[in-house]
Amino acid sequence: MSSERTGQRVLVTLRRMISAGELAAGERLAEIPLAERLGVSRMPVRMAFRELEQEGLLVRAGARGFAVRAVSPEQIIGAVEVRGVLEGLAARLLAERGASEAVLDTLKTCLKEGDALFENGCFAEADAPLYLDLNIRFHAAIIQASGNLAIQEALSRNDHLPFASVKALAIDRNNLAAEYKRLNYAHIQHHAIVEAIAAGQGARAEALMREHANAVLRYTELDPAREGVAILRGS
Amino acid sequence: MSSERTGQRVLVTLRRMISAGELAAGERLAEIPLAERLGVSRMPVRMAFRELEQEGLLVRAGARGFAVRAVSPEQIIGAVEVRGVLEGLAARLLAERGASEAVLDTLKTCLKEGDALFENGCFAEADAPLYLDLNIRFHAAIIQASGNLAIQEALSRNDHLPFASVKALAIDRNNLAAEYKRLNYAHIQHHAIVEAIAAGQGARAEALMREHANAVLRYTELDPAREGVAILRGS
DNA sequence: ATTGTATAAATTGTATCCAATTTGTGGGGG
DNA sequence: CCCCCACAAATTGGATACAATTTATACAAT
C-alpha cells in the first residue's frame, strides 16, 4: 500500500462528500462503515475525523463518534462578520506599514483583470471562474502582505465553513444581470481598497474591507439547492 | 487500561511541557521516544501531534515529524491584534443587539469583584489569581453573549499562543506597584466597556475593547525568564 | 578530495487485534 | 402498566505488528 497517500485521499474524499452533501448535515459517522465504504482500514478514517473536527466540518456527537456539522444561516453570517474584521485588520495594517511596489503590482493586476471582465457591461457564465480566481488572489495578497500570520491562521479555520470564504462563489445562472451588478460593485470596492492602501489610509482601508465582506452576505439569500444556482470553488 | 483517558493525559502533558519550555522551541519531536518517555504507545502521541498542530503549538518539520513552534515577539503582537478585533466585534454585536439582564449581571459582578481588589490602592501577590479569574469570566461572558460562534472558535485557536490569551497573565513580583497601575487601568476599561454595552453604544464598545487588548501588549515587555516574573494560567 | 550511489537504519503511516465503555433491548420486579 | 436492572451487541480507543519512505553514512569512482 502507498504510505502517506491513503490518509490524504480519505481526507479529501470526506471533505468532498461533506461539502457535496453526500453526507447529510447532522448525520452521525461511524468509523467502521466509512472505512469499509472507502476501502481502507479504520486508522486513516480516525485521523481524518480529528482533522475534520479541527476544520469545523465535524462535531463530536455526544460521547460516541462524530457528526457532520449542521451550519445555520446565522452561523454563516457570523463567520462572514469574523472574516470582515480580520481582513479589515489586514488591510489597515498593510496601509499603515505601507505596501511594497511588488504588492501594489499584484493588486493592480487583479484590478486590471477585473476591469476587463466588467467593461462589456454584462456577464457571461464563463466569466465567473475568472472573477473567483482574481478575487482569491486579491484577498490572499492583502492578508499575506499584512505581515500578521495570526490573521491568516484565523481565516484558514473560518474559511472551512461553506459560503463564509472568498474561495467559494455562489452564482445564480438565471439572474446573470443581477450577478453582474453584485460582482461589479465588489470590484469597485477592490479599486477603493487599493486606493486607500496605496495612500496609507488605514482606517479607510479597514472600513472598506469590512463593508466588502458584507457584500458577500447576499450569497446566503441564494438557496444552493435551487435550479440554476451554481457553487464555484477555488484552489 | 483506561480507555479515552490516555489520549487526554498525553495531550495535556505535551501542552504543559511545551509551554513550560521542557520541549525547546524548534526542537524536533519523534513519536517513539516521546511515547516511551510517557509510558504509552505511539498511537495517543500521534493523535496528540495532529491536535497540537491544529492548536498552533507544533509545526510540521519537513516531510518527517513535527517540531515545537518557535514564536517570535512579532507573532505575539499579531495574535493580540487579532484578539483585539475579534473581541471588539463581540462587544459591538452585544451592544447592538442589547445585553440581557443576566449578562449584565454577570459583567457587573466582575466589576464589583475588581473594585474590591483595587480599592486598597495597592496590590498583593495573592490578588493576581483573583484578577485573572474575574478577567477570564468577563471576557468569556461578552464573547458568549455576542451570539457569534465563529468569534469563539477563532479565539480558541488564537489563544493557544502563549501570552496572546486573556487566560495567561504575566506578573512581575518585583514591581507590584507598576502591576497595580497596569491592572487597575485594565479594570477601569472594563467599567467603560460595560457602560458602552449597557447603553447600546456599539462603536464605542468596539473601540474600547480593541484598546483593552492592546493593554496586554505590556506582557511582551516582560522577560518570562527573568527573576520575579511569574506566569499565571487560568482554567 | 569530492561527489554520487547504494545500503542500512530510523521513522512514519497503515492494518489488525484486544480491551473498555456505551447503548439498546429484554426480562423481571414493583 | 411502568420502571429499573442486567446482559448483549456495537463502537471507539489503545497497542502491537508490518510496510514503505526517507535520511544518513560509507564506500567507490572520477
CA-wise closest residue to A49 among A71, A36, A34: A34
Average pLDDT over residues A3-8: 74
**Number of domains chain B contains:** 2
Q: Which residues does chain B have within 8 Å of residue A93's beta carbon, measured at their own beta carbons?
A: 81
- Between strands A168-172 and A58-60, the pairing is unpaired
A59 is near strand D: CB distance < 7 Å: no
Residue A235 has pLDDT above 90, yes or no: no
User: Residue A108's pLDDT is what?
Assistant: 98
- The more confidently predicted of residues A208 and A217 is A208
- Cell numbers placing B150: 465563529
When pLDDT is cut at 50, 70 and 90, the band that residue B131 belongs to is very high
DSSP state of A69: P
DSSP state of A98: -
Cα gap B209→B109, rounded to integer Å: 18
* CATH code assigned at A189: 1.20.120.530
* CATH code assigned at B29: 1.10.10.10
When pLDDT is cut at 50, 70 and 90, the band that residue A222 belongs to is low
Please enumerate in sequence order all residues whose Cβ is within 8 A of that of B220, keeping only pairs 6 or more positions apart, or say none. B73, B76, B77, B163
Residue B201 has pLDDT above 90, yes or no: yes
Minimal Cβ distance to A154: which of B50, B54, B82: B82
Interface contacts A/B by beta carbons within 8 Å: 78
Residues A67-105 pLDDT 10s:
999 888 899 899 999 999 999 999 999 999 999 999 999
CA of B2 to C1' of D9 (A): 21
Indicate if B90 and B16 belong to the same structural domain. Answer: no
Minimal Cβ distance to A85: which of B74, B79, B89: B89
Cα gap B172→B5, rounded to integer Å: 36
B47 is near strand D: CB distance < 7 Å: yes
Q: Between chains, do B150 and A79 touch, taking CB under 8 Å as contact?
A: yes
Residues A95-151 pLDDT 10s:
999 999 999 999 999 999 999 999 988 888 888 899 999 999 999 999 999 999 999
B32 is near strand D: CB distance < 7 Å: no
User: Residue A227's pLDDT is what?
Assistant: 67
User: Residue B225's pLDDT is what?
Assistant: 63
Q: Is B54 on the interface with A (CB under 8 A)?
A: yes
User: Residue A73's pLDDT is what?
Assistant: 87
Indicate if A163 and A191 belong to the same structural domain. Answer: yes
Cα gap B73→B220, rounded to integer Å: 7
Indicate if B96 and B181 belong to the same structural domain. Answer: yes
Indicate if B34 and B89 belong to the same structural domain. Answer: no
Q: Is B27 on the interface with A (CB under 8 A)?
A: no
Indicate if B84 and B58 belong to the same structural domain. Answer: no
Average pLDDT over residues B61-90: 92
A177 is near strand D: CB distance < 7 Å: no
pLDDT above 70 as % of chain A = 93
Nucleotide nearest to A63 (CA to C1'): C22
3-state secondary structure string across A185-216: HHHHHHHHHHHHHHCCCHHHHHHHHHHHHHHH
B161 is near strand D: CB distance < 7 Å: no
Q: Which of A27, A46, A68 is the last residue of a domain?
A: A68
CA of A185 to C1' of C29 (A): 74
Indicate if B54 and B77 belong to the same structural domain. Answer: no
**C-alpha neighbours within 13 Å on the C-beta side of residue B155:** 24
- Between strands B66-68 and B58-60, the pairing is antiparallel
User: Residue A2's pLDDT is what?
Assistant: 44
User: Residue A85's pLDDT is what?
Assistant: 98
Residues 159-188 of B with CB under 8 A from A: 161, 164
- Cell numbers placing B186: 485594565
Greatest C-alpha distance within chain A:
58
Instruction: Give the minimum alpha-carbon distance from A11 to chain B in angstroms, rounded to a whole number.
Output: 13
The winner for highest mean pLDDT among A34-38, A92-96, B69-73 is A92-96
Indicate if B62 and B154 belong to the same structural domain. Answer: no
Cα gap B111→B23, rounded to integer Å: 38
Indicate if B41 and B153 belong to the same structural domain. Answer: no
The one-letter amino acid code at A57 reads L
- Cell numbers placing B35: 511515547
Looking at A187-191, A195-199, B87-91, B166-170, which range is the least confident one? B166-170
Residue B222 has pLDDT above 70, yes or no: no
Q: Which domain holds residue B201?
A: 73-233
Indicate if B184 and B108 belong to the same structural domain. Answer: yes
Given CA atoms A106, A97, A88, A204 in this order, what sign does their dihedral have? negative
Indicate if A99 and A206 belong to the same structural domain. Answer: yes
Residue B103 has pLDDT above 90, yes or no: yes
Q: Between chains, do A153 and B157 touch, taking CB under 8 Å as contact?
A: yes
Mean pLDDT value across chain B: 90
Instruction: Specify whether the CB–CB gap between A84 and A206 falls below 8 A.
Output: no
Indicate if A60 and A167 belong to the same structural domain. Answer: no
Mean pLDDT value across chain A: 90
pLDDT above 90 as % of chain B = 63
Q: Which of B13, B39, B68 is the last residue of a domain?
A: B68
Given CA atoms A189, A128, A217, B88 in this order, what sign does their dihedral have? negative
Average pLDDT over residues A39-54: 93
Residues B166-197 pLDDT 10s:
888 888 888 888 889 999 999 999 999 999 99
When pLDDT is cut at 50, 70 and 90, the band that residue A1 belongs to is very low
- The more confidently predicted of residues A23 and A234 is A23
Indicate if A51 and A135 belong to the same structural domain. Answer: no
Q: Which of B16, B37, B68 is the last residue of a domain?
A: B68
